[in-house]
Structure 1
Amino acid sequence: MTTLYIRDVPEDVAETLKQRAAERGQSLSAFLNGQLSQIANRPTNEALVERLRARNRANAVTTDRILDELHQSRR
């Protein structure tokens, strides 16, 4: 495993992170490891765009249908 060092963390940020770790019964290291894993596992914006472009939109709701439903719900 790699060791990371983070410098110049504002005191209020560090304190908030310590509190959140304590609320979960975790060490600060374990808490931050989990948070960093979540960040690393998120898809990039480019990957999200590609996923959306690849979707089959054959059965998608049209803009006109949405607007019709909206107008009908306001009557």
Structure 2
Amino acid sequence: MRLTLYIRYVPDDIAERLERLASRAGLPLSTFALQELSESARRADNAELLQALPSFEIDPAELLEVLRQSRAEH
């Protein structure tokens, strides 16, 4: 099922910016806005995925030393 979304009370500066960006992309405003909303929704999913990853405590000094050693070997 598709949903029709209406956005009211969009500030003038935001509306003008979106219209300008849509025009540059050669797209109707509604198509451009849908692409931007879709991208925003994907980024939200990425944040959840990143938070679910295990966290490792890494000493920055130790990491730098390993990098130095690796570079010295090559």
Q: TM-score higher than 0.5 here?
A: yes
Share of identical aligned residues, percent? 37
Per the normalisation by structure 2, the TM-score is: 0.68
Deviation of 1:50 (Å): 0.8
CA distance in 2, matches of 1:34, 1:46: 21
Give the equivalent residue in structure 1 for 2:61.
64
Q: Output one character per residue of 1:5-27: Cα deviation in whole Å (capped at 9) or x when no partner.
A: 11111011100000000000000
* Aligned-pair CA distance for 1:46: 3.7
Q: Aligned Cα RMSD in Å?
A: 2.3
TM-score, with length taken from structure 1: 0.68
CA distance in 2 between counterparts of 1:10 and 1:26 reads: 21
For structure 2, the residue ranges without an aligned partner over 5 or more in a row are 69-74
Q: Match of 1:49, SS? A: helix
Corresponding position of 2:23 = 22
SS at match of 1:2: coil
Structure of higher RCO (CA pairs closer than 8 Å, 6+ residues apart): 2
CA displacement, residues 26-73 of structure 1 (integer Å, 9 cap, x when unaligned): 00000001001111112254431112x17xx6xxx742324545xxxx
Q: Distance in 2 between matches of 1:26 and 1:45?
A: 28
